Amino acid sequence: MTIADVAFDAPVRHAFSYRVPEGWTLAPGQRARAPLRGAARVGMVVALREGTDPQLKPLARLVDPEPVLSTTQLELVSWIAAQSLSSVGSTCAALLPPPASADAGRVPEIARDGESPLASPKPELLIGAGRERRLLERLEITKGAALVIAADVETAAKWAQRLAKIDRVVRLDSGVPDEERAAAWRALRDGSARLAAGTRSALLAPLRPPATLVLLDEHEAAHKPPGPPRMHSRDVALERAAREPLALLLTAATPSAEAWWRAESGLIEMPAREPGPWPAVSIADTRGILRREPLTPPLSRAIRETLAARRRVFLVVSRLTSSLACDECGTVVRCAACAIAFAYSRAAARLVCRLCGASQPLPDTCAACHGRRLTPFGWGAERVEHAVRRRFPDARIARWDPEAARGARGEAQRAAAAAADVVIGTRGALRLFGPAALGLAAFVAPDQLLRAPDFRAGERTLALAWAAAERVAADGLLIIQSQNPGHYAFEAVARQSLNEFYRPELKFRAELGYPPFRRLAVITARAADSAETRRLAETVGAALRGAKGLTVYPPVPDRSDRTRRIVAKGDADLPRRLDEALREFKTPSGGRGMIDVEVDPVEWPF
Ligand SMILES: [Zn+2]
Ligand SMILES: [Zn+2]
């Protein structure tokens, strides 16, 4: 008899075996319903083999009339699961369209994508002004299939509209109904559509060669949200291009350090571009200025002039962080070993490093200048709005923080911001403005970004400042008020030179062993109560320290002491070493608690 190994969307690593009923035609890559713990659940057939086992239950029903994943793609899914220490079933579930309903009709037989002898060309990274226009021009002359992956549904919808001017386009993101997504998948496979737009759930959509895969804004953290597939879309796309013959195009305003490093190493092409138009950039030094007022005189003057010219103003604010810096010289209090900002807890009156767990009492004076004003100072959006209203009572002023205000209130805020002369907003509010739409953009206190207790704080600051500059007209102005006016992220923006940033940034990453030079993982332990959690974290930490090739930091409790996190650093083989060390903890047993492993985290989860 034929036995099918089926992987389910569950945190179990192994597949389950079933008998294939007589007369079924079935291949790996097809989904089927099968009984699992008393319910019929959808799983992916990962392998078929001949055998005899009278105990095996039969598969209940076929879900896909033919395979939705090719052999090559099934191997890619297994690779993603192994690299992210997650299950094949969960990875499949996240990367496939919902199963078509029974009446969706049988799809016409098409030739299975055979092993093509063609190799993929080297992936290309498009940067600089007009990168999206250049991308669209490339797609206009492309003959074969093209799939554009965006970081969010809104952008996917926008690209679907752009592509529709070239040819019929189908959508593979959650902005369209399930039925439509399933039909889009089939249309790509049978060749009735060749253009598609989607989000990361579409990364494995079938593409007939010669195919082009596009990943927009490869630097976006939104390409790795929580949940499976637990891998950044950039890494999935690069691996797919290595396994299937397809042209991979990435775009970024400010590439991730990982992508920049690949380009420097010759693994990715990064065609040089003439610099496009750029606004004047002025960096205002706010060190030692007693801050009663978020707007320095040059910024107030620039706002007045911009409003008089009937142009728009965007003031960028950030969430208040809980780290400490010197108001005199701007020096951030950092962990000596990890070089990331200490987290400041007012209640505990202590500083804690969220990477290595080092802790120290609050210092009285600044180590750099011996100044005595060390504060968690920052400007919140409300205080900035208040200051602007007082000075410019006749202007239309709106505040928008898309992350903080959702639903009807968020919509109302967005509408007000879209019509305002002065918008005070966080990073997400940038999407209100197209290229060169602003007369003035200003960072009120970007030091809050630089102080974030995350080794990517510099990269995030650069990304935001660069994105703001791209939205200011060439005859407009970008003002950065900072206590760290000499920071290389600001220098790079002022000179419109990404090199100015990545040279020192990659040096810093290499010296301290951060990505792309070493890989990180965060292991989170959670048990019934804090004592159990502590015990579990200690055991897990000991198991990791016993493994070769890992640097393991002590467990650090979260703010509520409900979970403990351990950071482990390793080399390219980090997933395998973690898997070996943690095997016994991956299956929940006997109330000992649970661990979760996040490999290559992009959002520092503290
Ligand atoms: Zn100081
Ligand atoms: Zn540290």
| Residue-wise pLDDT tens digits, 402-444 | 877 778 888 898 999 999 999 999 888 998 999 999 999 999 9
Query: For residue 357, which ligand has an atom nearest its CA?
Result: 2
Q: Say if residues 329 and 285 touch (Cβ distance below 8 Å).
A: no
333 CA distance to ligand 1 centroid (A)? 9
Q: In sequence order, what DSSP letters do the residues of 351-401 get, joined into one string? A: EE-TTT--EEEPPSS-TTT--S-EE-----HHHHHHHHHHH-TTS-EEEE-
Q: Is 422 exposed, middle or buried (0-12, 13-18, 19+ CB in 10 A)?
A: buried
Distance CA 532, CA 517 (A): 35
Handedness of CA 187, 188, 194, 198 (dihedral sign): positive
**Residue 240 corresponds to which amino acid?**
R
Count of Cβ atoms closer than 10 Å to residue 411 Cβ: 11
Phi-psi region of 593 (alpha: psi -120 to 50; beta: other; left: phi over 0): left
| pLDDT, position 352 | 86
356 CA distance to ligand 2 centroid (A)? 4
| pLDDT, position 377 | 66
Q: Which residue has the tokens 């928008």?
A: 400
403 CA distance to ligand 2 centroid (A)? 29
299 CA distance to ligand 1 centroid (A)? 24
Q: Say if residues 358 and 270 touch (Cβ distance below 8 Å).
A: no
Phi, psi (deg, nearest 5) at residue 477: -140, 140
334 CA distance to ligand 1 centroid (A)? 13
pLDDT digits (tens, 9 = 90+) for 103-132: 444 444 344 455 455 788 999 999 998 999
Distance CA 436, CA 295 (A): 23
Length of the chain: 606
* Torsion angle of the four alpha carbons 159, 164, 166, 172, in this order, in degrees rounded to the nearest 10: 60
For 170-180, b where at least 16 C-beta lie within 10 A, e where not — what string?
bbbbebbeeee
| pLDDT, position 105 | 43
Q: Say if residues 563 and 526 touch (Cβ distance below 8 Å).
A: yes
Q: What is the mean pLDDT of residues 537-552?
A: 95
Please state at what angle helix 457-470 crosses helix 498-512, rounded to 10 degrees.
Answer: 170
| pLDDT, position 101 | 59
358 CA distance to ligand 2 centroid (A)? 5
235 CA distance to ligand 1 centroid (A)? 41
35 CA distance to ligand 2 centroid (A)? 49
For 252-273, b where at least 16 C-beta lie within 10 A, e where not — what string?
bbbbbbbbbbbbeeeebebeee
10 CA distance to ligand 1 centroid (A)? 52
Query: For residue 329, which ligand has an atom nearest its CA?
Result: 1
Residue 102 has pLDDT above 70, yes or no: no
pLDDT digits (tens, 9 = 90+) for 82-94: 999 999 999 999 9
Query: For residue 338, which ligand has an atom nearest its CA?
Result: 2
557 CA distance to ligand 2 centroid (A)? 14
Percent of the chain with pLDDT over 90: 71
One-letter-per-residue 3-state SS of 46-115: EEEEECCCCCCCECCEECCCCCCCCHHHHHHHHHHHHHCCCCHHHHHHHCCCCCCCHHHCCCCCCCCCCC
| pLDDT, position 290 | 58
Average pLDDT over the chain reads 91
pLDDT digits (tens, 9 = 90+) for 459-503: 999 999 999 999 999 999 999 999 899 999 999 999 999 999 999
458 CA distance to ligand 2 centroid (A)? 17
Phi, psi (deg, nearest 5) at residue 441: -125, 145
Distance CA 347, CA 178 (A): 48
